Amino acid sequence: MKKLDSIIQKLTDWPEGTTAGQLAEQLGLDRSTVSRYLNQLVKQGQADKIAGRPVLYRLNKQDNPYPFQSAHAEMTDLLREALAALLYPPHGLPILLTGETGVGKTHLAQKLVQLATNEGHLPPGTPFITFNCAEYAQNPELLLAQLFGVKKGAYTGAEENKPGLVERADQGILFLDEIHRLPPSGQEMLFTLIDQGSFRRLGETHAERQVNIRLIGATTETPDVALLPTLKRRFSVRLVIPPLRERSPREREQLLATFLKEEESQMGLPLTMTDECRSRFLAYDCPGNIGQLKSDIQIACARAFLRQLYHHQEQVVVTLNDLPTHLRQQGPVTTAITSHLKRTASDNIYELLLQRHAQLTQQAVAPLEMERELQETVNSYIRRLVTSFKKGASHEPEGTPIEPRLLQLLENTLASWPHKLPQAIAPAQLKALALHIQAFIQQPERHHPETVPSHLPVKPIYKDLARQIGHALKQHYHIKLPEAELDLIALFFSLDEQPSRGKPRCIATVCLTGEGAASTLESWLSRRLPPADRDVLIRSVQIDPFTRQSPGLEHLRETFDLIAIVGTVPPAMSDIPYFPAWELYQPSGFSKLERHLAQTRQVPGEEEPQVPLTPEDVPELILQGLLDTITHYNPKRLIQLVEQEAPQFRNVFGWTAEREIGIWMHIGIYADQLLAAQLNPGKEKDKQPLPPEAEPPTGHVQLWEHFLQQLEQCVSVRFPPYTAHELARLSAAN
């Protein structure tokens, strides 16, 4: 579930209003993120902001997005049957909702709870916890930890006792979407929860916890196939939500009216739709059901709104040209994939850029960030177009035939090009380019808005080839391509093809010695990976601080698709991108990693230059990193000591700023782990450092002994024997 949808859903539990802080705590989100979404809802008229101390937010009284009107008696019957099961004494009957993607299973669950609350069957504020099991399906251990909670030490990275969603749903309702994505062990645990009302956190072996919850599950799969027999039998009430094609025409009319009313409210302008457009929305095959219907309406309204901005009309009118491609084309669309290909093939990239530019402008995005976002819009457009031809082998996507004369023109131009290109041009690239140029030629009003990124990453040789193509088009079609269009043509050739990945993606975390800091980084990254990158595995490995080599890294590279290395010391593996730990703890640094992750999902991009560091940068970077990592002492005490003693270490060891940050962060994390072991001596025994193989210079050891003595006094930690010797050796290592 998207963050915005989660916030809207949670607001329904607080009809009198709640604070951003309370919502953030309930949803496990950052308070600033929640505040941003709440203010967005207020601007759109979907929520009210109540002044006072504290400021409260509440949903206004408008209708819900997916209403179940009386136009379809079966939907009303489903809602009533579900309500009877939910309220069945003493604790309700487990309910399983099944149906195709987009039919409204999540909304039915929300509507069910809202109805039960409004009619007084459930007290206001009854917990309603939702969880999509698909979000963590690639990591069963993490999925079960999210659901049932985890005991400290249950697995690497489990650094504290943590309750799960089951405990949060006590005395309330737990809604599990995509329940079939639970692993067999999770389904068995859920069966025990339903049958006995008890469960154990992950890692617990004795203590059983009791809860009283009402359970609603949802799946797009057939229960007989997707669920274990033991769990399937516990769902005594199974409700099948029909797809949109099986519902009455009147219900689709009411859905269309509801969605148009929502868009009109967001625009703040009168909104109408021509009769022809309305008839197409009411009659077309909609394989994505209600979700796709709403999405298609939003696309049409956005295009109509953009036209209104240019012509300063008093109202927004949706016409035939505003509809998505599969609605403009004649004939039904049989699959969502075909619809996607058609839409990809002929959408106007300039229009896409205008829409994205308008969104970013409304969000007050900084110019550099806007440039990057617009660049990604261009890249995604080209990749989707090329991919559509790769999937279709020698045939173009259905409904978008390429003019043979245009394709032949491009082939001839490429064949006569006298210069050697860095890489061969694949047939799919040429066909995708032909379709793009064809769409440009067919546009009634050709223009290139200022929203086109100003620095498209094209190589000069491809820009020259694009100019040659432009010259050929001018001769045969009597059109002159603008510079922005020539840049786009060049990008069709220079944008690397998407690599095929047969192995799971993996990030390795490394540290100067042992696995302590690496494991901490592993846990930190696991909690922050974007949803689209939950498939990425994170593994901590040891690395030799002197040779900077690691058999563990070599093993990961052979076993997985090793896409990045994160740590406090760069390894001797120059072909894998390295991200210093100190950099990741900065917002811009983590954004850089996120962009790299996105590129490994799609197309590798050029590496960004490392930001040059100075010794003056070191303390602040260490502080920011440790604030987000350690838990047992105040890192500011360490920073004060570092600022006082660092000049001596720089003079003796000649560190670079990056190397120095790695050393200090290693010590900071190591001290935190020692404190944790010393505060809980019975739970975890600290690993003693090994004696050094060769005795370092006495002056180096004494320098570290003096520093460690001061740090012991500052944070009340006890360093083991040989720590100073080991640090002296590490400090001198290249």
Instruction: Work out the pLDDT band at 2, boundaries 50, 70, 90.
Output: low
pLDDT of 413 strictly over 70: yes
Q: What is the pLDDT confidence band of residue 50, given thresholds at 50, 70 and 90?
A: confident
Tell me if 607 is assigned to some domain: no
**CA gap 410, 13 in Å, rounded:** 60
Which is it for strands 95-98 and 47-50: parallel, antiparallel or unpaired? unpaired
**Do 478 and 340 belong to one domain?**
yes
Provide the pLDDT for residue 213.
92
pLDDT 10s digits, 10-33: 787 777 788 888 888 888 787 878
Q: Does residue 645 lie in a domain region?
A: yes
Q: Which 8-state DSSP code applies to residue 121?
A: S
Looking at residue 89, which CATH number applies to its domain?
3.40.50.300
Distance CA 732, CA 596 (A): 32
Boundary of a domain, candidates 282, 302, 327 = 327
In tens, the pLDDT along 508-543 reads 888 765 555 666 777 778 777 777 777 788 887 777
pLDDT level of residue 212 (50, 70, 90 thresholds): very high
Task: Please give the radius of gyration of the chain, using alpha carbons only, rounded to the nearest integer.
Answer: 30
Which two three-digit tokens encode residue 673?
A: 């782990």
Same domain as 260, residue 212:
no
Q: Are strands 198-199 and 209-210 parallel, antiparallel or unpaired?
A: antiparallel
How confident is the model over 286-290, as a mean pLDDT? 84
pLDDT at 292 over 50: yes
What distance in Å separates the CA atoms of residue 427 and residue 558, rounded to the nearest whole number?
Answer: 32
Question: Is 537 a domain residue?
Answer: yes
Q: Residue 46 has what DSSP assignment?
A: S
- For residue 64, tell me if it sits in a domain: no
Read off the pLDDT band of 686 (50, 70, 90): very low
| pLDDT above 90: percentage of residues in the chain | 6
Residues 394 and 461 in one domain: yes
Round to whole Å and give the CA distance between 298 and 261: 11
Residues 274, 317: contact at Cβ < 8 Å? yes
Residue 339 predicted with pLDDT over 60:
no
Distances (CA, A) of 208 to 34, 153, 189, 201, 202: 34, 18, 12, 8, 11
Q: Kindly indicate the confidence band of residue 327, based on its pLDDT and cuts at 50, 70 and 90.
A: confident
What is the 3-class SS of 307-358, one letter each residue?
A: HHHHHCCCCEEECHHHCCHHHHCCCCCCCHHHHHHHHHHHCCHHHHHHHHHH
Q: In this structure, what CATH number is given to the domain that contains residue 564?
A: 3.40.50
Indicate whether 400 and 480 sit together in one domain.
yes
What pLDDT does 97 receive? Answer: 92
CA 271 – CA 317 distance, rounded (Å)? 6
Q: How far apart are CA 540 and CA 333, in angstroms?
A: 48
- Higher pLDDT residue, 101 or 95? 95
Bridge partners, 537 (sequence order): 506
Note whether residue 496 is domain-resident.
no
Q: Token match 């200022």: residue?
A: 450
Quick one: which H or E segment has residue 145?
helix 140-148
Give whole-number Cα distances, 23 to 19, 28, 58, 63, in Å. Answer: 6, 8, 11, 22
If one compares 495 and 594, the residue with the highest pLDDT of the two is 594
DSSP 18: B
Taking the C-alpha atoms of residue 47 and residue 61, their distance in angstroms, rounded to an integer, is 9
Q: Considering 242, 264, 291, which residue would you say is the last residue of a domain? A: 242
What does the pLDDT average to over 671-691? 63
Position 343 scores a pLDDT of: 39
Residue 209 — φ and ψ, nearest 5°?
Answer: -110, 140
Last residue in a domain, options 491, 519, 545: 491
Checking if the pLDDT of 561 tops 70, the result is: yes
**SS3 state of residue 197:** coil
Say how far apart CA 409 and CA 473 lie, in whole Å: 8
Residues 193, 267 share a domain: no
pLDDT of residue 661: 82
Residue 399 has pLDDT above 50, yes or no: no
- Residues 6 or more apart from 318 whose CB is under 8 A from it? 271, 272, 273, 274, 277, 300, 301, 303, 304
345-350 mean pLDDT: 56
**One-letter identity of residue 232:** K
Domain extent, residue 476, equals 335-491
Q: Are residues 229 and 322 in the same domain?
A: no
> Cβ of 689: how many Cβ atoms within 10 Å?
18
Let me know whether 232 and 112 are in one domain.
yes
pLDDT of 689 above 90 = no
pLDDT reading at 395 higher than 80: no
Side chain identity at residue 26, one-letter code? Q
State which of 151-155, 373-377, 705-709 shows the largest mean pLDDT: 705-709
Residue 68 falls inside a structural domain: no
Measured from the Cβ of residue 385, the count of other Cβ atoms closer than 10 Å reads 26
**Bridge-partner residues for 506, per DSSP?**
537, 562
Average the pLDDT over 492-496 and give the result: 70
- Rounded CA-CA distance 629/616 in Å is 22
Other beta carbons less than 10 A from residue 643's beta carbon: 12
Maximum distance among all Cα pairs of the chain, rounded to whole angstroms? 89
Closest CA to 504 of 600, 384, 578: 600
* Contact predicate 565/576, CB 8 Å: yes
Cα separation, 416 vs 412, in Å, equals 6
- Looking at the domain assignment, is residue 606 inside a domain? no
Who contacts 95 (Cβ-Cβ below 8 Å, separation ≥6)? Answer: 82, 85, 86, 215, 216, 217, 235, 237, 238, 239
CA atoms within a 13 Å half-sphere pointing along the CA-CB vector of 86 = 28
Strand partners, 57: 18, 49
In this structure, the answer to whether residues 381 and 484 fall within a common structural domain is yes
Same domain for 166 and 25?
Answer: no
Strands of 568-628 (E only): list them: 578-580
SS (H, E, C) 204-266: CCCCCEECCCEEEEEECCCHHHHCCHHHHHHCCEEEECCCHHHCCHHHHHHHHHHHHHHHHHH
Q: Calculate the CA 165 to chain-centre distance.
A: 21
Contact (Cβ atoms closer than 8 angstroms) between residue 701 and residue 652: no
Q: Are 262 and 122 in contact (CB under 8 A)?
A: no
Nearest to 457 by CA among 421, 496, 402: 496
Q: For residues 179 and 425, give the distance between their C-alpha atoms in angstroms, rounded to a whole number.
A: 45
683 burial (CB, 10 Å; 0-12 / 13-18 / 19+) is exposed
The tally of CA atoms less than 13 A away on the side-chain side of residue 219 is: 17
34 within some domain = yes
Q: Structurally, how many domains does the chain consist of?
A: 6
* SS3 state of residue 613: coil
Identify the weakest region by mean pLDDT among 2-6, 33-37, 259-263, 436-440.
2-6
- CB half-sphere exposure, 569, CA atoms < 13 A: 28
45 and 90 co-located in one domain: no
Q: CB-based contacts of 299: which residues, under 8 Å, 6+ apart? A: 323, 324
Shared domain for 481 and 344, answered yes or no, is yes
Q: How many residues does the chain have?
A: 734
Under DSSP, the state recorded for 150 is: B
Output the CA torsion sign for 506, 509, 515, 520: negative
570: preceding bond cis by omega (within 30 degrees)? no
Provide the token pair at 628: 């987000």
| CATH code of the domain in which 290 resides | 1.10.8.60
Q: Which of 107-116, 308-317, 521-530 has the highest mean pLDDT?
A: 107-116
Whether residue 92 is found in the same domain as residue 231: yes
